Amino acid sequence: MASYKAGFISILGRPNVGKSTLFNRMIGEKLSIITPKPQTTRHRILGIKHIEGGQLIFLDTPGIHEGRSELNKRMVQTAIASGWDADVLLYLIEAVSPRVEDDEKMLRTLKESRGVPFLVINKIDLVRRETLLPLIDQYQRLHPFEKIIPISAMTGDGVDLLVNEILNYLPESPPYYPEDIYTDQTERSIASEMIREKIIQQTFQELPYATAVKIESFKEHSEKNLVVIQATLYVEKESQKKILIGKGGQKLKRIGEEARREIETFLGKKVFLELWVKVEKDWTRNPHILDELGYITH
Taking only the tens place, the pLDDT of each residue in 201-230 is 998 888 888 899 999 999 999 999 999 999
Q: Could you tell me the pLDDT band of residue 103, with boundaries at 50, 70 and 90?
A: confident
Q: What pLDDT score was predicted for residue 63?
A: 67
Identify the residue with better confidence: 82 or 23: 23
**Higher pLDDT among residues 36 and 280, named by residue:** 280
pLDDT, tens digit (0-9, with 9 covering 90-100), for 244-260: 999 999 999 999 999 99
Q: State mean pLDDT over 90-118.
A: 86
**Strand 54-60 relative to strand 88-94, pairing:** unpaired
Residues 228 and 72: their CA atoms lie apart, in Å, by: 32
* Interatomic CA distance for residues 82 and 270, integer angstroms: 35
Half-sphere exposure of 212 (CA within 13 A, CB side): 23
Predicted pLDDT of residue 32? 81
Structural domains for the chain = 5-169 (3.40.50.300), 187-292 (3.30.300.20)
* pLDDT tens-digit map of 144-181: 999 999 999 999 999 999 999 999 999 999 999 999 99
Other residues' Cβ atoms within 10 Å of the Cβ of residue 153: 28
Amino acid making up residue 263: I
Q: What is the structure's pLDDT at 130? A: 86
Using an 8 Å Cβ cutoff, are 232 and 213 in contact?
yes
Cβ(250)–Cβ(34) below 8 Å: no
Q: What CA–CA distance (Å, rounded) separates 283 from 285?
A: 5
pLDDT mean over 97-117: 84
SS3 (DSSP) at 16: coil
Least confident of 37-46, 113-122, 288-297: 37-46
Is it the case that residue 232 has pLDDT exceeding 90?
Answer: yes
pLDDT computed for residue 158 by the predictor: 96
Residue 64 has pLDDT above 70, yes or no: no
Segment (H or E) for 158:
none
Whether 298 shows a pLDDT value over 60: the answer reads no
* Percent of the chain residues topping a pLDDT of 70: 92
Q: What is the pLDDT of residue 67?
A: 65
Q: What is the pLDDT of residue 267?
A: 94
